[in-house]
């Protein structure tokens, strides 16, 4: 979340920045600042009461030692009143702190200066594109029809077992899925990321730590009996490794990669654009997560973008990169670049990766800090990116690599698959 000191010092700038998200943040900011002012006043009063109570207690001890019991007993009545007042002030202070926290949770991150104002994905900026879109035969099929033709993904069986959005991968389809996961992990570890396996469920504190709660509560599967949440992305458990942690400045950069299944309710999703693998309730994804020194995080973001570019070049998929506008920017992100692969058979772009810098927004929730050269605790910066999300990458491969004889396997994946054609 945004730091209260930052809001106090940069009120107008924060309001203008959040305006890029089409949010009039002024009323909420004013409530935050008023509540913070009252909270600080209550803290000052509590400090004064405790100091006065401590001073009187010392005086009482001296009076008893000098035989002035009556005066000591009289002062004890004052300390009793002060203790009662301090108790009430502590309760008021805790209540104000909780209310302030609730308000701060409602404020999204302030967009980076390079983010443009916009209303929706239509206002995102294309900043890069690469690769030629293959020319397919007239009889070319979308991936859901190819999946049925070659019996590699069974969407109907998934409906029987769980419901729509839970596909069953079969035969070469399952092997291709496994190959992609292994390939992505290998590329990430070769780039210096440490592979890690994490739980697929998280507690409420973890959800709040990375910002999925309370913002995305309705999109997460909640195991109510145990008060746990199925993860929507590996970002949540991996980043929460550093909740309440103070790292050494010499530890930077901290880099992790992990594969997990991801679970999203995607409530309200319907229509042709969600057919097949386009949007699922359960899907596989390989994630990269970084914890960085604030002065190095944007260089790290550029490096993450180049890393994903290199993977897509090896897969030889046509893709483009978008810088998200304020209206399409995720709640916790300061700057996000989306990668989209072109689905030739569907004649549309499909998002396959988001690479984001959250600056101190998540770190403030997580209390993720480092000691600077002066020994003072400072908030770190966190970043993450899909490297990559599998469903739409797989859809792009099936559609763009289809031929009259079958579906070719990208050359870089053949050693992982053990075959070069789905036929």
Query: Per-domain residue ranges for the chain?
Result: 4-106, 121-422
By mean pLDDT, which of 96-100, 207-211, 271-275 is the weakest? 271-275
Burial of 374 from C-beta contacts in 10 A (0-12 / 13-18 / 19+):
exposed
By mean pLDDT, which of 64-73, 85-94, 126-135, 301-310 is the weakest? 64-73
pLDDT for res 74: 74
What CA–CA distances, in Å, run from 409 to 191, 311, 349, 396? 24, 15, 21, 11
Q: Which residue has the higher pLDDT, 378 or 268?
A: 378
Residue 234 has pLDDT above 70, yes or no: yes
pLDDT for res 133: 87
Number of H-type helices and E-type strands within the chain? 13, 19
pLDDT for res 197: 98
Concatenated DSSP letters of 59-90:
HHHHHHHTT-HHHHHHHHHHHHHHHHHHHHHH
Q: Is 14 annotated as a binding residue?
A: no
Residue 267 has pLDDT above 80, yes or no: no
What mean pLDDT is reported for the chain? 94
Q: Is 384 annotated as a binding residue?
A: yes
d(C-alpha 419, C-alpha 417), whole Å: 5
**CA torsion through residues 262, 266, 267, 273, sign:** negative
Q: Is 60 annotated as a binding residue?
A: no
Residue 272 has pLDDT above 70, yes or no: no
Q: Is 275 annotated as a binding residue?
A: no
Residue 62 has pLDDT above 80, yes or no: no
pLDDT for res 312: 98
Residue 405: φ, ψ to 5°: -95, -10
Residue 71 has pLDDT above 80, yes or no: no
d(C-alpha 226, C-alpha 204), whole Å: 11
Q: Is 399 annotated as a binding residue?
A: no
pLDDT band at residue 105 under the 50/70/90 scheme: very high
Q: Is 353 annotated as a binding residue?
A: yes
- Structural contact between residues 390 and 181, judged by C-beta atoms closer than 8 angstroms: yes
Question: pTM of the predicted model, to two decimals?
Answer: 0.91
Q: Is 352 annotated as a binding residue?
A: yes
DSSP designation for 107: S
Q: Is 38 annotated as a binding residue?
A: no
Class of domain 4-106: mainly alpha
What CA–CA distances, in Å, run from 37 to 8, 30, 41, 85, 281? 10, 10, 6, 20, 44
Residue 268 has pLDDT above 60, yes or no: no
| CATH code that applies to domain 121-422 | 3.30.930.10
């Amino acid at each position: 979340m945004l730091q209260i000191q930052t809001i106090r010092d940069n009120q107008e700038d924060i309001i203008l920045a959040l305006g890029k998200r089409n949010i009039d943040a002024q009323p909420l900011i004013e409530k935050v600042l008023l509540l913070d002012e009252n909270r600080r006043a209550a803290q000052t009063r509590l400090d004064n009461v405790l100091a006065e109570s401590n001073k009187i207690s010392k005086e009482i001890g001296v009076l008893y030692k000098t035989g002035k019991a009556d005066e000591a007993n009289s002062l004890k009545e004052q300390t009793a009143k002060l203790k009662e007042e301090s108790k009430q002030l502590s309760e008021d202070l805790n209540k104000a702190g909780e209310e302030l926290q609730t308000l701060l949770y409602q404020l999204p991150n302030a967009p980076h200066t390079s983010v443009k104002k916009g209303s929706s994905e239509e206002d995102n900026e294309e900043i890069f594109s690469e690769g030629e879109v293959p020319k397919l035969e007239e009889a070319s099929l979308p991936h859901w029809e190819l999946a049925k033709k070659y019996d590699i993904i069974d969407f109907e069986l998934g409906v029987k077992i769980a419901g729509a959005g839970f596909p069953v991968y079969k035969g070469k389809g399952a092997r291709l899925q496994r190959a992609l996961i292994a390939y992505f992990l290998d590329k990430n570890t070769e780039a210096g990321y440490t592979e890690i396996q994490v739980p697929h469920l998280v507690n409420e504190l973890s959800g709040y730590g990375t910002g999925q709660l309370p913002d995305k509560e309705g999109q997460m599967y909640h195991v109510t009996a145990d008060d746990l949440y199925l993860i929507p992305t590996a970002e949540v458990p991996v980043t929460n490794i550093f909740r309440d942690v103070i790292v050494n400045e010499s530890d930077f950069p901290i880099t992790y990669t992990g594969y997990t299944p991801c679970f999203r309710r995607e409530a309200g999703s319907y229509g042709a654009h969600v057919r097949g693998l386009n949007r699922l309730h359960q899907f596989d994804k390989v994630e990269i997560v970084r914890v960085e020194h604030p002065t190095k995080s944007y260089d790290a973001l550029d490096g993450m973008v180049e890393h994903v570019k290199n993977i897509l070049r090896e897969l030889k998929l046509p893709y483009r990169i978008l810088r998200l506008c304020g209206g399409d920017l995720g709640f916790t992100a300061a700057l996000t670049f989306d990668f989209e692969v072109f689905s030739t058979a569907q004649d549309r772009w499909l998002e396959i990766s988001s690479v984001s810098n959250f600056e101190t927004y998540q770190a403030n929730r997580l209390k993720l800090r480092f000691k600077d050269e002066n020994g003072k605790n400072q908030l770190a910066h966190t970043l993450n990116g899909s490297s990559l999300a599998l469903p739409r990458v797989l859809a792009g491969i099936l559609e763009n690599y289809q031929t009259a004889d079958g579906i070719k396997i990208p050359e870089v994946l053949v050693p992982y698959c053990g075959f070069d054609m789905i036929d």
